[in-house]
Amino acid sequence: MNDKEVTKLIASEETRQREGLELIPSENYVSREVLSALGSVFTNKYSEGYPGKRYYGGQDFTDPLETLAIERAKKLFNADHANVQPHSGAPANIAVYFAWLEPGDTVLGMRLDHGGHLTHGHPVTTMAQLYNFVRYGIKDKETGEIDYEEMRRVALKEKPKIILAGFSGYPRNLDYAKFAEIGNEVGALLMADMAHIAGLIAGKALPNPFDFGFHVITTTTHKTLRGPRGGMILTKGKVGNPLKQVEKNLENLPTLIDREVFPGFQGGPHMNNTAAKAVTFYEAAQPEFQTYVQQILKNAKKLADEMMSRGFKLVTNGTDNHLIMADVQTSFGVDGRQVQDILDKIGLSANCNSIPDDPLPPFRPSGLRLGTPAITTRGLEEEHMAQIAEWLEQAIKNRSNDKILNKLSNEVKEFSLRFPLPSDS
């Protein structure tokens, strides 16, 4: 590459990834095949529209490519329809809102500070200005159990048009059957945002919301699914309650969603990204992917146990999935932002995060969010989790001691270099 500045930055980032450990639960490493697809000549091609209904010529290979991605996604998640064009998870969620709601309609979703996502109705988002978001949360911070009784009371009172199951910082499993029971009682569309756990569902390590009567699933295609940064929307046929609240027919939902993705608020899809998604769905359908996601869960549980044994207070006292939420303010008297910065110094990447009913502000919250998808991709197993927990503890306790932090940094680097990146193979 002639651009020396960009070349240097790419090389530096590659070195950072190779010499450190990625513990942010929403990040992962893609395969060489996915990287190759992302860098393919499909990046040159405009293809506004959908297969068979494009607005540009020269679609000889874009149509079969997108169709291949669609069919692989449907098979992987047992869906009847798939839209693989959303550029990320947020546009995927917004497309469903636009397809099903009228301005002012109500959506019931998880509170952000209890584990939900910004696009589930936080007041700072544009969607919160268009729709009426009401919220549910957890009943017991020690167990992480969601207050389903309160959810039902809110649903009966507010009559939401959508009940949304999903999270970005919740370490336990959702009871989809209870969501469905409440949704069917009030006639709401059942929507699951599985961005964080799509890979775990594809690999059959966690249940599929469609098996419980959900109508629509949105997801990103990276995180545990281990693909390119992008989004996807999946729908299932007419199931559950006939949704008496609304005039729209469930059978039209796929068409309504497609129209909102394009031409609603996206233009041409990124066909190189579509190619990478197709490769991702192929990889996720292989038997070894199931082994991989099971290892994610084993590693997460072991890491949680090792952290608790070292004095970390964990939200819900453990995890059922890939992510861990630690209350570092209670554990060590230091906020999550400070811990994030400390860990960066020794080559461990995690992110600060609010915890339920956090007394600290969002920019300097009490919590630290971490997980095991990326380190599992690199080949780490349960036997390595104690070492990671020890580095976490030592870095926090010795946060003002540069000599010890430098020693930990060298240890992390030496350890990390034993586990190649997927792109190295």
Task: Note if 223 is an active site residue.
Answer: yes
Q: Do 49 and 159 have their domain in common?
A: yes
Task: Note if 302 is an active site residue.
Answer: no
Annotated active-site residue in 19, 46, 305, 310? 46
Domain boundary among 284, 300, 325: 284
Annotated active-site residue in 141, 152, 178, 229? 229
| Tokens coding 152 | 């039902």
124 versus 146: the higher-pLDDT residue is: 146
Residue 24 to residue 212: CA distance in whole angstroms: 30
Range 115-134 average pLDDT: 79
Range 154-158 average pLDDT: 96
Q: Do 125 and 255 have their domain in common?
A: yes
Global confidence as pTM: 0.93
Nearest of 377, 287, 395 to residue 338 by alpha carbon = 395
Amino acid at 335: D
Range 199-203 average pLDDT: 97
Question: What percentage of the chain has pLDDT greater than the value 70?
Answer: 96
- With a cut of 50, say whether residue 239 has pLDDT above it: no
- With a cut of 70, say whether residue 114 has pLDDT above it: no
- With a cut of 60, say whether residue 167 has pLDDT above it: yes
- With a cut of 80, say whether residue 31 has pLDDT above it: yes
**pLDDT tier, 213 (very low <50, low <70, confident <90, very high otherwise):** very high
Q: Is 21 within a domain?
A: no
Domain boundary among 239, 262, 284: 284
Task: Note if 48 is an active site residue.
Answer: yes
Nearest of 185, 184, 220, 281 to residue 90 by alpha carbon = 220
Q: Do 272 and 192 have their domain in common?
A: yes
Range 80-98 average pLDDT: 95
Task: Note if 220 is an active site residue.
Answer: yes
Q: Is 5 within a domain?
A: no
**Would you say 335 and 366 are in contact if contact means Cβ atoms under 8 Å apart?**
yes
CATH code where residue 69 lies: 3.40.640.10
Annotated active-site residue in 223, 277, 301, 302? 223
Q: Do 245 and 167 have their domain in common?
A: yes
Give residue 373's domain range: 289-424
**Would you say 327 and 366 are in contact if contact means Cβ atoms under 8 Å apart?**
yes
Q: Do 245 and 136 have their domain in common?
A: yes
Q: What is the overall mean pLDDT for the chain?
A: 93
Residue 222 to residue 195: CA distance in whole angstroms: 8
Residue 268 to residue 266: CA distance in whole angstroms: 7
Q: What is the pLDDT of residue 242?
A: 45
Q: Do 40 and 176 have their domain in common?
A: yes
Annotated active-site residue in 193, 258, 320, 358? 193
Count the Cβ atoms, other than its own, within 10 Å of residue 143: 12
Q: What is the pLDDT of residue 287?
A: 97
Q: What is the pLDDT of residue 124?
A: 75
Q: Do 329 and 307 have their domain in common?
A: yes
pLDDT digits (tens, 9 = 90+) for 307-343: 999 999 999 999 999 999 999 999 999 999 999 999 9
Q: Is 406 within a domain?
A: yes
Q: Do 361 and 274 have their domain in common?
A: no
Q: Is 306 within a domain?
A: yes
Q: Is 13 within a domain?
A: no
Residue 177 to residue 167: CA distance in whole angstroms: 17
Q: Do 67 and 183 have their domain in common?
A: yes
Residue 39 to residue 281: CA distance in whole angstroms: 18
Q: Do 194 and 81 have their domain in common?
A: yes
Q: Do 193 and 54 have their domain in common?
A: yes
Residues paired with 217 in a beta bridge: 192, 234
Q: Is 1 within a domain?
A: no
Q: Do 273 and 311 have their domain in common?
A: no
Interacting residues of 295 by C-beta distance below 8 A, sequence separation 6+: 376, 381
139 versus 348: the higher-pLDDT residue is: 348
CATH code where residue 367 lies: 3.90.1150.10
How far is CA 238 from each of CA 215, 235, 249, rounded to the nearest angstrom?
Answer: 7, 9, 9
Q: Is 133 within a domain?
A: yes
Domain boundary among 284, 318, 350: 284
Cα 405 from chain centroid (whole Å): 31
Q: Is the dihedral of CA 246, 249, 254, 258 positive or negative?
A: negative
Count the Cβ atoms, other than its own, within 10 Å of residue 149: 12
**Would you say 106 and 112 are in contact if contact means Cβ atoms under 8 Å apart?**
no
Residues paired with 233 in a beta bridge: 83, 218
Domain count, the chain: 2
Q: Is 27 within a domain?
A: no
